[in-house]
Structure 1
Amino acid sequence: MPHRERGMDEAALPAEYRQIFAVVRAADGPVMAKKVCAALKLGATPREVEPMRGKLARLAQRGWLRKTAGGRFTGTL
């Protein structure tokens, strides 16, 4: 997954990450990994939520999302 650079849009992301990014962007405010799992029709057990949290963190580390102090994620575009 590429680091976000000026002028890049979400089309640069792999398909799975575009879906995650779209869920976060469509939310009314910062979201938790569990809510993203629910929106993507995944389970709500740690087995599904923890990998999602990792993907959200990766998106945040690469500049696509922001992670709040409370561990929630929000879009930056």
Structure 2
Amino acid sequence: MQAVPPWHSSLGVSVLPGAYQDLVEVIADARGPLRAMRVAEASGLSVDRSKVEGLRSKLKRLVERGWLVEDGPGRFALPERQPGGTQS
């Protein structure tokens, strides 16, 4: 099984590894899309450039697997889900 499974309506955030759960929760609490630097700040992580690049890779992995969307270049957000758990 992949460390970050593809999103499915029957899966909760709890199936993600802890670090990924934290990232999804930070974005869920935001009032809009966040850039990787803002996610790092909100998560209490280092804002050192190399650390933020590693964080950006994790965010992009969450996008690839359907947990997040990239709402413009470098802006990460939760996808809008339709009733019944499907993505729009």
Normalised to the residue count of structure 1, the TM-score between the two structures is 0.92
Which is richer in helix?
A: 1
1:50-72 alpha-carbon deviations (Å, 9 max, x no partner): 00000000000000000122320
Q: Distance in 2 between matches of 1:69 and 1:31?
A: 10
Partner secondary structure for residue 7 of structure 1? coil
1:12-66 CA-partner distances (Å, limit 9, x unpaired): 1111100011001100000000011101112212111000000000000000000
Greater Rg by CA = 2
Out of 70, 74, 78, the position equivalent to 1:75 is 78
Alignment partner, residue 3 of structure 1: 6
- Give the 3-state SS of the residue equivalent to 2:77 in structure 1: strand
How many equivalent pairs are there?
77
> How much identity, in percent, do the aligned residues show?
34
5+ residue gaps, structure 2, are: 82-88
5+ long unaligned stretches in structure 1: none
Separation in 2 of the partners of 1:50 and 1:56? 10
AA aligned opposite 2:62: L
Matched, 1:48 2:51: yes
TM-score between the two structures when normalised by the length of structure 2:
0.81
Counterpart residue identity of residue 74, structure 2: G
Aligned partner of 1:27 in structure 2 is: 30
Q: Secondary structure at the match of 2:63?
A: helix
* Segment of structure 1 superposing worse, 47-56 or 1-10: 1-10
